[in-house]
Structures are given as structure tokens and as C-alpha cells.
Amino acid sequence: MAEWIGIGRRARRAYGFEEIAIVPGKITIDPEEVDISWEIGGFKFQIPIIASAMDGVMDTKMAILMTKLGGFGVLNLEGVQTRYENPEEAIEKIINAPSDEATNVIQKVYEEPIKEELIGRRIEEIKKGGGIACVSSVPQRAERFGVIAKEAGCDIFVVQSTVTTIHYISKGRSSLNFKKIKEALKIPIIVGNCVRDDVCLEFMEAGIDGILIGVGPGTACTTRSVLGVGIPQITATIDCVHSRDFYYKKTGKYIPIITDGGMSRGGDICKAFAAGCDAVMIGSSFTRAYEAPGKGYHWGMATPHRNLPRGTRIKTGIVSSLEAILYGPAHLDDGSQNLIGALRTAMGICGAKNIKEMQNAELIIAPSIQTEGKIFQVFQRTGMGRQ
């Protein structure tokens, strides 16, 4: 597993989506008959897809819509929804900014302070619409915002930062006590992001209900180039799945693993499940829905931190309704639509009757090397080739 990378030092080889493929099964199953439901913290969902807490993806309407479509979405308590009475206006500014001003404008928009009264209001809006109210905050505000959210009727609470650990060393503030917050809120808590099996295990032991896997893989996330930190998602998922299975064997408690980030096509999602995850969190793919607040743009999980911006505004374009992205019909053939249909078909091909069986599908290392032909195809698609 570990190669020598210099005298006296070894490193493991990690794998990402583009280097892995799923091996078809020995038997196949009718895709209509596979079961893709899953459970977390007592909630059962028809589809194992969560919309991520990006301001370009989630607002209260999207939260309601995701619930109707069988999954749920996470509303960011530190994004425009709690900074602005009228978040649409803030978003307009971002998507209308000229390209070279976008990072600056994003930073400015997020300088507006959070208004705590808006936390409750957003949750109530979601609940009123029949949606699962799932909201997120960074660890430093999780205790305070968690209580407010709980009171407003929050169903699931997410504590999320680039890398979250049980132990955080700071003179300024003590580590968030995950055990305590879990006991205080008494609702399911999802924590992330995480890529280490040992940290995963610590979260499980602290009573956390679900763990978000992924550091640095998203398209709007520049963590790996800015910080050099990151683990490709297939290996990160497998490592954390190992802790999930170990903890389950030891305690009988099954804590779902949610692969978050880097999946731009149906094939990537299928691979995440074959790597063992229980659900996936999708961001940029959903910005292509006309219902998404970003109107064809997204900018990761940008924060007002002027010093180290790590969210780029990326134009994805609007292609269809959220329902079509999830359930088809697909009018594009690039794997960006009918994600559920793709998962069902892949499970059928693998002979996997449910998510648990899909977690055991065989994987193969099969790098998608850029051949001359493929680069040429990219040219053609972008209208650059001659033909």
C-alpha cells in the first residue's frame, strides 16, 4: 500500500473517481427493482442524495423541493440566507459581477453579519413547505446556532468546515464538545468534512449520526491547490467506510458515511456507492437546475475570510429542472442528468439489490488517460476543432 517517495519515507497511493471503474456483476437485476433508500438518525429517505450547503444550490425552496423528490438539502446558516433578509439580491450581485471581480464581490457579500433571527425564520419557511429542515454551521458557532435551530424545529443539524476534528487546539476557544452538543440538541447530527478513518471513529464514538467525507475534491473547491491538502474521494470513502464497519461490528450502531464533493457525473456517484458510501452530497450538479438560487453559477462554500479565498465562481449553466437532474428524462448524454436512473442502472448491472449490496461491487483500477483522441473530442465539443 505504501511506496517509497524518498529516502526513509513512504506514502500510500490514493485513488480518485477518474482512476477507478466498476466491474459488472456476475448476475444482473432489473434497475426498476433495486432499492436505493437509506436511513440516517431515524429518518428514512427514498434517495441517497443530499444537496450540499452551498448558497448557489440551497435556499428554503430548494430544501422543500429536495424533500419532495425523496432526499433532503442542507441550508447554510452562515451563508446569504442568514446574512440577508432578501438573499436573492445578494446572489444577484455575485452572479452579475464581471469575471475578474467575482472573488472580490463574493468576499464583500459575505462581510454582511449573520442575523440570528433569520435562522429561525428560514427553518420555519422550510417546515411550512413540508420540507426536512437540515441546517449547517461551522464548529465555532455550532453550539449557539444549534440551539436556535433546534428551537425553530430543525430536523437534522450539520457541523461542517473544511476539515473538522474532535480535538481542536486554540487559545481563543476550546474544542467543540460533540458529545455535549449531541445530548443538548437531541436531533441527528452530521459532521464533516473528514477523510481519516481514525477521526471518523472518534466522531462515531461521540455519538454523531453521519459523517461527510471529502477534503478538497469539489470543482469549486481549490483547497488542494491553495493548501496542498486533500485525499482523492475513492480512497477517503473506503477508509472511512472501514471505520463505519468496524464500529458497527463492535457496537451494533450503523453510522452512515456520506461522500461529499467531486462527483460531477452519474458515473462518479455510482463509484462512490461502490466504494462503500451510504449517501452522496451533491453541489455543483444541482446548480444546473433552474430552481437553484445560483441560476447556473456556484461559488463553493465561500466565507467572508478575505485572506484566503478558496471558492471560485464557476458557471455551470442551467440545463433542466431539479427533477430531471435526479430522475430524467435526460436530454444530455454527459451523465449530468437522471442521476437516480444512472445509479439504478449501474446497480442493476452490478447485480446489487440495494445500497448495501452495491457497497460490495468490485472496483478496478482503470485510469482514464488523456489520449490524443479525447483531447481532440474536447476541442470538438468546445467548438474549437476544425471538423
User: Rounded to whole angstroms, how far apart are CA atoms 318 and 343?
Assistant: 22
Residue 219 interacting with its own copies (CB under 8 A): yes
Cell numbers at residue 291, please? 430552481
Asked whether 228 and 200 are in contact (CB, 8 A), the reply is no
- Judged by CB under 8 A, which of 23, 112, 253, 354 binds its own copies? 23
User: Rounded to whole angstroms, how far apart are CA atoms 89 and 352?
Assistant: 46
Residue 359 interacting with its own copies (CB under 8 A): no
User: Rounded to whole angstroms, how far apart are CA atoms 105 and 107?
Assistant: 5
Taking CB under 8 A as the criterion, which residues in 307-346 touch its own copies? 307-312, 315, 317, 327-335, 338, 341-342, 345-346
Residues 6 or more apart whose CB falls under 8 angstroms from that of 142 comprise 157, 159, 176, 181
Please, what sign has the CA dihedral across residues 327, 329, 335, 337?
Answer: negative
Please, what sign has the CA dihedral across residues 174, 176, 179, 180?
Answer: positive
Give whichever of 131 and 261 is closer to its own copies, judged by the CB atom. 261
User: Rounded to whole angstroms, how far apart are CA atoms 308 and 106?
Assistant: 12
Peptide bond just before 193 cis, omega within 30 deg? yes
Give whichever of 51 and 350 is closer to its own copies, judged by the CB atom. 350
Residue 27 interacting with its own copies (CB under 8 A): yes
Asked whether 34 and 344 are in contact (CB, 8 A), the reply is yes
Give whichever of 130 and 383 is closer to its own copies, judged by the CB atom. 383
Residue 8 interacting with its own copies (CB under 8 A): yes
Taking CB under 8 A as the criterion, which residues in 184-213 touch its own copies? 195-199
Site string for its own copies, 38-77 (x = CB under 8 A): ----------------------------------------
- Judged by CB under 8 A, which of 92, 103, 318, 357 binds its own copies? 103
- Judged by CB under 8 A, which of 46, 225, 251, 354 binds its own copies? 225
Please, what sign has the CA dihedral across residues 101, 106, 109, 113?
Answer: negative
Give whichever of 129 and 321 is closer to its own copies, judged by the CB atom. 321
Asked whether 103 and 313 are in contact (CB, 8 A), the reply is yes
Site string for its own copies, 145-184 (x = CB under 8 A): -----------------xxxxxxxxxxxx-----------
Residues 6 or more apart whose CB falls under 8 angstroms from that of 79 comprise 53, 54, 55, 87, 110, 301
Q: How many residues form the binding site for its own copies (CB under 8 A)?
A: 135
At its nearest, how many Å lie between its own copies and the CB of residue 22? 5
At its nearest, how many Å lie between its own copies and the CB of residue 345? 6
Residue 95 interacting with its own copies (CB under 8 A): no
Is residue 240 among the annotated active site residues?
A: no
Nearest to 179 by CA among 202, 147, 198: 202
Taking CB under 8 A as the criterion, which residues in 362-381 touch its own copies? 362-381
As a whole number of Å, the end-to-end CA separation of the chain is 45
- Judged by CB under 8 A, which of 137, 149, 224, 244 binds its own copies? 224
Residue 89 interacting with its own copies (CB under 8 A): no
Residue 11 interacting with its own copies (CB under 8 A): yes
- Dihedral pair phi/psi, residue 294, rounded to 5°: -75, -10
Fill in the amino acid letter for 126. Answer: I
Taking CB under 8 A as the criterion, which residues in 229-248 touch its own copies? 229-232, 234-239, 241-242
Cell numbers at residue 101, please? 471581480
At its nearest, how many Å lie between its own copies and the CB of residue 63? 26
Among residues 134, 194, 200, 221, the one annotated as catalytic is 221
Is residue 144 among the annotated active site residues?
A: no
- Judged by CB under 8 A, which of 63, 66, 77, 269 binds its own copies? 269
Catalytic residue annotation: 221, 310
